[in-house]
Amino acid sequence: MSIMEYNGGSVIAMVGKDCVAIASDLRLGNQALGISSNFQKIFPVTDRIYLGLPGLATDVTTLRELFRYRVNMYTIKEERDIEPETFAHLVSSTLYERRFGPFFIEPVMAGMSKTPSGGYKPFIAATDLIGCLNFAKDFVVAGTASSKLYGVAEGLWEPDLEPEDLFETISQTMLNAVDRDAYSGWGVIVHVMTKDKVITRTLKGRMD
Amino acid sequence: MPDMVSLDRAGPQQRQFNPYSDNGGTILAIAGADFSVIAGDTRQSEGYNIQTRYAPKVFKLTDKAVLAVNGFAADGNMFVKRVRQRLEWYRHAHAKDMPLRAIARLIQTMLYGRRFFPYYVYNILGGIEEDGSGAVYSFDPVGSYERESCRAAGAAQSLVQPFLDNQIYFKNQTAAPGTTHPKHLPLQEVLSLVIDSFTSATERHIEASVGDGLEMYVVLARGSQLQGLENVPNVQEMTTTSDGERIFIIRRELKKD
Amino acid sequence: METSFAITGKGYVILAADTTSARSIVKMKSDEDKIKTLSPHLLMAYSGEPGDTIQFAEYIERNIRLYQIRNNYPLRPPAAASWIRRSLADSLRSRKPYAVNLLLGGYDTTTYTPHLYWVDYLGTMTELPFGAHGYGSYFALSLLDRYHDPEATLEEGLATLRRCIDEVSKRLVVSPGKYKVKVVDKDGIREVEL
């Protein structure tokens, strides 16, 4: 019995042309027994950052609360929203604080970061459970279906997808990967972020 | 007496020999309406050590049957050798090649015959049935088998199979109103999907167990057209008879890191 | 073995917990109340390691009461659930964690909505239309997948609960005999005889 697979669940984030997308399944289980089909693992951090927390469910809630606290403190002190790059390092250092008794979570982030010229550029990142950062340029995955997500994403993803095409790509990747994973599934939620809005959709998929 | 072995102090000792090993690699087969594609990478590894960059995992059995074998290479090679021997005996007894579905059943009995000391291999058999349709049979190490239209096995099965579910079976895709998804894909599309699957697996597989070379066997039903096969680079015909099914092999390079 | 269920319906939550208190193979007691009233509109069914359950439940009970005394208002169900979950999550990484599983049923008097939270000893929490703990959950959950109706009246809800209890009695080898059933709705908390 692996702690990382105790509750199940998976998250993926992808980069597109001036947009990013992040998706997760909605299952909460105790090993093979399904408990909930509406367990959110992705949380908005600011208007332009979404954070996915697959792994041990108790730590999903604990970390969500911890990041909300730390981001609020940052916002009050700095009088501005935290940037995705900065937030990624906050995630990393928060996890590394527990280097020898870790939170059993592998976070995935997606956001739009400000450029010096005043525009926005897509940003994704992921870390392992002790905060080792991975700034990928294409896509990042985590959770019990990670190997399946890698396989499908590597086959479907291409550079510079428009928001609607990115939505289709990430949705198909998620749906087909979780259908081959016993610990993930029971519904999928997708967020597609552009510079001025976020579109959230809950997908109709297999519920077995 | 210092140089004498004291027997009373030595506790019971256990020795173990592990007769199995995992040699990595991935195999894949897809059936078309009148053809079958059976593919495998050519790397043979043990852990992070690459033993060779060219060790075929896909073998021509007859003019209409190709067997891909993945798992423990020594068992795989021995198994193919024995299947071929049984097919040769069949040829001598009946003056014809064994039909594909019979080969599939033969493989089942051969695998199950070793139920309590199994061949540590996953088999995928591809070829043409007696009715001229493309077929794929997949097996577990002890002989459970099933006819399917596509299957991946081996180190990158978890990466490739969900991709195939999506692209071959059109899982999670809705056909445009008034249309249906095709039951079988044309050869050119199947070959592109096989190449994509292997390049993806080579790119992302965590251990260094997929890569180096790719061998794709194409079996064409009796009397069917080449379907663009003549224009594929590096294609080589391996057919031995003149009026039956035709077999081709396509070789590609994969990343070597 | 210990079993507890909870069902939400139209404006109410029903909680049911078995009443046996066991040590090893011996039934020590058969009328134990394992559902605590935390506030006028909040119930908590608890199960798990014998000593831990009562110790933890009373700690929660007293602190929820203290909040109410200090602030003149009780915590609403989502807030109470969050605090209780955090207590378990913190305990998990302490020297001696509490091994207690909970079902929290409450009625939010400000939004007029029923809430049910499923919490386990790790601090895993999720809001559900119905939930269960213990071996009975393996029977009850699939049954509730089929028969639960979020718009059901209290009578229908109790009938559904009855089916769960009957199924567990029929199929579980170590099934508990009696259950205590409590309901929370706009009028507060009351015990129900099935």
Per residue in B150-181, pLDDT (tens digit) is: 999 999 999 999 999 999 999 999 999 999 99
Q: Do A156 and B162 touch (CB under 8 A)?
A: no
**Confidence tier at B3 by pLDDT (50, 70, 90):** low
Cα first-last separation, chain A? 22
What's phi and psi for A198, nearest 5 deg?
-120, 130
CA–CA dist A29, A17 (Å, integer): 35
User: Across the beta sheet with C179-185, what order do the strands follow?
Assistant: C130-134, C3-9, C12-18, C179-185, C188-192
CATH code reported for the domain at C3-192: 3.60.20.10
Helix (H) or strand (E) holding C31: none
Q: Which residues of A touch B203 (CB under 8 A)?
A: 154
| Helix residue ranges, H only, C8-136 | 50-71, 77-92
pLDDT digits (tens, 9 = 90+) for B31-83: 999 999 999 999 999 999 999 999 999 999 999 999 999 999 999 999 999 99
Q: Do A147 and B161 touch (CB under 8 A)?
A: no
* Secondary structure of chain B in HEC code, one letter for each residue: CCCCCCCCCCCCCCCCCCCCCCCCCEEEEEECCCEEEEEEECCEEECCEEEECCCCCEEEEECCEEEEEEECHHHHHHHHHHHHHHHHHHHHHHCCCCCHHHHHHHHHHHHHCCCCCCCCEEEEEEEECCCCCEEEEEECCCCCEEEECEEEEECCHHHHHHHHHHHCCCCCCCCCCCCCCCCCCCHHHHHHHHHHHHHHHHHHCCCCCCCCEEEEEEEECCCCCCCCHHHCCCEEECCCCCCCCEEEEEEEECCCC
- Which residue in chain A has the smallest CA separation from C139? A33
To the nearest whole angstrom, how far is the Cα of C126 from the nearest Cα of chain A? 7
Residue A64 has pLDDT above 80, yes or no: yes
Angle, helices A163-178 vs A146-156, to 10°: value is 140
Q: Which residues of A touch C128 (CB under 8 A)?
A: 35-36
Q: Do C124 and A61 touch (CB under 8 A)?
A: yes
Whether residue B197 lies within 8 A of chain A, CB to CB, comes out as yes
To the nearest whole angstrom, how far is the Cα of A21 from the nearest Cα of chain C? 25
Length of chain C: 194
Sequence spans of domains, chain C: 3-192
Contacts with A, B 132-191, CB within 8 Å? 156, 158-163, 165-167, 171-173
The whole-number pLDDT of residue A26 equals: 98
Interchain CB contacts (distance < 8 Å): A and C: 43
**Cα B2–Cα B8–Cα B14 angle in degrees, nearest 5:** 110
The whole-number pLDDT of residue B235 equals: 96
The whole-number pLDDT of residue C177 equals: 85
Calculate the dihedral angle through the C-alpha atoms of A34, A37, A41, A43, rounding to the nearest 10 degrees. Answer: -160
CA–CA dist C194, C181 (Å, integer): 7
* Percent over 70 (pLDDT), chain C: 99
pLDDT along chain C (194 residues), means of 10: 93 96 87 97 96 97 98 97 98 98 98 98 98 94 96 97 95 89 98 93
CATH code reported for the domain at B26-254: 3.60.20.10
Whether residue A72 lies within 8 A of chain C, CB to CB, comes out as no
Q: Give residues with Cβ within 8 angstroms of B14, minimum separation 6.
A: none
Q: CB A33: neighbour CB atoms within 10 A?
A: 10
Residue A176 has pLDDT above 90, yes or no: yes
Q: Do A151 and B159 touch (CB under 8 A)?
A: yes
Read off the tokens for A126: 């992921």
**Confidence tier at B7 by pLDDT (50, 70, 90):** low
Nearest to A141 by CA among A157, A156, A158, A153: A153
Q: Which residues of C touch A101 (CB under 8 A)?
A: 93
The whole-number pLDDT of residue B189 equals: 97
Q: Is C41 exposed, middle or buried (0-12, 13-18, 19+ CB in 10 A)?
A: buried
Residue B117 has pLDDT above 60, yes or no: yes
What's phi and psi for C126, nearest 5 deg?
-150, 145
* Percent over 90 (pLDDT), chain B: 90
Q: Which residues of A touch B173 (CB under 8 A)?
A: 172
The whole-number pLDDT of residue B9 equals: 63
Sequence spans of domains, chain B: 26-254
The residue-averaged pLDDT of A173-187 equals 98
Biggest alpha carbon–alpha carbon distance for chain B: 94
**ipTM for the whole predicted complex goes beyond 0.90:** yes
Residue B1 has pLDDT above 60, yes or no: no
Read off the tokens for B226: 């080449």
The chains in contact with chain C, meaning 3 or more Cβ pairs closer than 8 Å, are: A
Measure Cα distances from C157 to B28, B132, C8, C169 in Å.
52, 59, 8, 19
The whole-number pLDDT of residue B78 equals: 98
Which domains, from first to last, does chain A contain? 3-203 (3.60.20.10)
The whole-number pLDDT of residue B8 equals: 61
What SS3 state is found at A150? helix
Amino acid identity of A135? F
The whole-number pLDDT of residue C25 equals: 85
pLDDT digits (tens, 9 = 90+) for B175-213: 999 999 999 999 999 999 999 999 999 998 877 789 999
CA–CA dist B126, B65 (Å, integer): 6
Residue A36 has pLDDT above 90, yes or no: yes
Residue B2 has pLDDT above 60, yes or no: no
Contact assessment for residue C83 and residue C76, using Cβ atoms and an 8 Å cutoff = no
CA–CA dist C120, C101 (Å, integer): 4
Q: Do B172 and A176 touch (CB under 8 A)?
A: yes
Mutate to test the interface with B, among A154, A157, A169, A172 (most CBs of B within 10 A): A154
